Amino acid sequence: MVRTYKRKTERASIYEKCVDDAVSAVIKVNVSIRAAAKASGLKPSMLFNRVSKFCMLYKEPKETYLRPPSMNRKFCSKKPENTSINTSLGFNKANIDVFKTNLENILHKFEFTPEKTYNLDKTGIINVLQAPKVIASSGEKQVRQTVSSERGELVTFCGIVNALGNTIPPFYVFPRKCYKELLLKGAPSQSLGLVHTTGWMTADNFLETVKHFQKFCHCKEENLVLLLIDNHECHASLEVIMFCRENAIVLLTFPSHCSHKLQPLDVSVYGSFKTVLKIEFNDWLTTNAGKRISVYEIAELSAIAYYQTFTIRNIRSGFSKPGIWPFSRNVFAENDFLADIMTDQKAEEDIPSISGHFTETNAQAETVDDDLNSNVISTCPMPESI
């Protein structure tokens, strides 16, 4: 006579709830098969089969969940950033050693403290920025986002910070011939506004920028300050160098094509600044439907990103990571100079003037001209006490 079989023991029983929890841990939390099986008291082979059935049922690729656990921890897919060959070769150990030596000599000579060590750097703001990622329907092929125009107008933004984490009001260069106060509407308090037909920084505008910097840092013969800038040609005018000599400003330039690794604002501030700025541009276009972002709105929108990203933590991180303050020579590992293998450049032979240095001679027009021709910014004031 046929009857229903009754189980006599509970050995090797499988509780479906435990199995479901283990499968969910593998699928959703990306836990390895062995770890999930051990936590649930299951056999790894049985859990492997259950996850495989799940992938077949929902047409998911098995490699997404069944790849080796070590691969999950050590490797990931990332989009690389395009880097020019000049930048790759410019950042080499020879250039960094020259810059670090010059910086160390200046810090020992003048005993600069963090509140007297400044970095000035500029970046471009275009009223047509790449829109941030948005949520769209699954399977949607094209997702559109309204922008102000196909080609934007460039506005140069320049921030000034010191190693203590303090900031000096920024300045803007607008693509206009005549300056209007409306251009600085909503900008950070006491910001400086300049104009140029292209919106680029020029030698004349940079002189006004240095004067703006000198007004807020209160430098004088008894209170010298160090200003770190990049090696752009507009920074090397005779007027700028003479002004710095007369107003107790010591200039030191970064090596060419090394700003992305050495300049504090580039290292830790401008990346997040541009990210927040994209979101603000997108929010403004959503709120003001049918309107365009012009140069008159850039100061107000950039001020929001400025206050969010020019924080003490970000600024101090920008100075400490490249070893500027606190000073350190060993912040870069050998792996950072892999591109240096492709060049035979030597510090003492080929790059004597890649980085700016200081001198104790009086400012002579001929000496300054020689410095400019050799791509060196050599500025040091000459007070009577030094």
- pTM (global) more than 0.75: no
CATH architecture of 16-58: Orthogonal Bundle (1.10)
All CATH 3.30.420.10 domain ranges of the chain, comma separated, are: 85-131+151-336
Where residue 82 falls (left for φ over 0; alpha for ψ -120 to 50; beta otherwise) is beta
Whole-angstrom Cα distance, residue 119 to residue 325? 11
Which helix or strand (DSSP H or E) is residue 39 part of?
helix 33-40
Please say whether the beta carbons of 378 and 358 come within 8 A: yes
Nearest one of 71, 58, 70 to 27, comparing CA atoms? 58
Whether domain 85-131+151-336 has CATH 3.30.420.10: the reply is: yes
pLDDT in tens, the chain (386 residues): 567 877 777 666 667 778 888 888 887 777 888 888 888 888 888 888 888 887 777 666 655 555 544 444 556 667 777 777 777 677 888 889 999 999 999 999 999 999 999 999 999 999 887 776 777 777 777 777 666 666 788 999 999 999 999 999 999 999 999 999 999 999 999 999 999 999 999 999 999 999 999 999 988 888 899 999 998 888 888 999 999 999 999 999 999 888 889 999 999 999 999 999 999 998 998 898 888 889 999 999 999 999 999 999 999 999 999 999 999 998 988 887 776 666 555 544 443 333 333 433 333 334 444 443 333 444 444 444 33
The conformation of residue 130, written as its DSSP 8-state character, comes to: P
Cα–Cα distance for residue pair 314/323, rounded to 1 Å: 15
Residue 156's H or E segment, with its range, is: strand 154-162
**CA-closest candidate to residue 358, choices 108, 121, 162:** 108
CA angle 299, 173, 300 (to 5 degrees): 0
Tell me where in the chain the CATH 1.10.10 domain(s) lie: 16-58
